[in-house]
Homo-oligomer: A and B are copies of this chain.
Amino acid sequence: MNSVGLVESQFITIKRSLDLDCGRTLPEFTLAYETYGKLNPERSNALLICHALSGDQHAAGYHSTEDRKPGWWDNCIGPGKPFDTDRFFVVAPNNLGGCKGSSGPASVNPETGKQYGPDFPLVTVHDWVVSQSYLADELGIEQWAAVIGGSLGGMQVMQWAIDFPDRLRQAVVIAAAPKLTAQNIAFNEVARQAIFSDPDFHQGHYYEHNTTPRQGLMLARMLGHITYLSDHAMREKFGRDLREGKLNFGFDVEFQVESYLRYQGKSFVDRFDANTYLIMTKALDYFDPALNWDDDLPRAFQNTSAEFLVISFTGDWRFSPARSREIVRALIAAKKKVSYVEIDADLGHDAFLTAIPEYHSVLQSYMHTLQI
């Protein structure tokens, strides 16, 4: 139907050195990315899609006719969809440090000839944005029509607007926050400790041991899932339903919610890398664009020139509407153009990935007004 159809990931090695926030330099790096739609002759219709914690470059379409699931934001990207590929050229990269083909812990370190493993540098949202700007240079995109992302993706959008004010016209920040709270960091820390505690982790050198810290990564993901769903959504979805209709007084799965979490945890391990998970959680913890501006968020936004659309979801307790309103208030204080929409949705943080009609209709209308 309105799918972008079969797509392939592309891989580009960018031969420019990248100075990272941590003080280390990558002499060159690879980014995996996918594109959907066509770049117009004016090169004015490009959208950059930034992914969240466990996302990747496969944002839309199918890799093969056997694929059961399309890319992670397929409901939003395609012909006639909010990010309309009949009109826009959509670029979706995998972040540096990722595990789907961009330079990351599983890549070979040119200095040692061995996989980086835990020696891959910790990267920041700023580092990602700079690496994405190099990708834009390679693709001949001087200015994005819009940079768009949810959750950790929304943080990249803000960083883009701050770091490269002239290189985007619109900034679409969905279900994000201007920085993590102590509680957010605490959840990330427990997830990391779960991975570190797994004896198959081998201090990150598990590739060499032909193991993978399955249990630790599974726990991290189970915990993540609790924060992605609202208490209300969990109640609606599972309640206190018992899988076998009765208590069995043992530690096998009894409640449906246990079954769901174990399934989510196990299936994640098959598609994700623990070292990448660690890097992504640290990038989240570190994100704090106001830090360089005396903790003054309006000042951090003062040089931006993009117009902003900020969207939040009422049932989201990971990054609640209150956190989005902090962003909006700072933008208003900085005298920037910003539209704010709070979507009534009980699902929780994961709502940003779903096709809630009101949400998609807001995106559709907004994108429709964009001049290209």
Contacts and interface: CB of A to CB of B under 8 A. Distances in A.
A340 interface: no
Contacts of A113: none
B189 A218 contact: no
Contacts of A258: 185-186, 189
A238 B278 contact: no
A194 interface: yes
Interface in A189-210: 189-190, 192-194, 196-199
Interface residues of A, number: 55
B240 A185 contact: yes
Contacts of A215: 193, 197
Number of this chain's copies in the complex: 2
A136 to B, nearest CB: 26
Contacts of A11: none
A182 B122 contact: no
A190 B198 CA distance: 15
A189 B222 contact: yes
Contacts of A237: 182
Given A249-B22, A262-B193, A240 B278 contact: no
Interface in A156-181: 179-181
Nearest to A285: B255
B193 A218 contact: yes
A223 interface: yes
A288 interface: yes
A142 interface: no
Given A197-B216, A235-B182, A255-B185, A190 B249 contact: no
Nearest to A281: B251
A231 interface: yes
B182 A239 contact: yes
A239 B71 CA distance: 37
B194 A219 contact: yes
A182 B219 contact: no
Contacts of A216: 197
A286 interface: yes
A317 B121 CA distance: 37
Contacts of A282: 251
Nearest to A118: B251
A179 B240 contact: yes
A187 interface: yes
Contact of A255 (B182, B218, B226, B239): B182
B181 A261 contact: no
A356 B121 CA distance: 46
Nearest to A121: B249
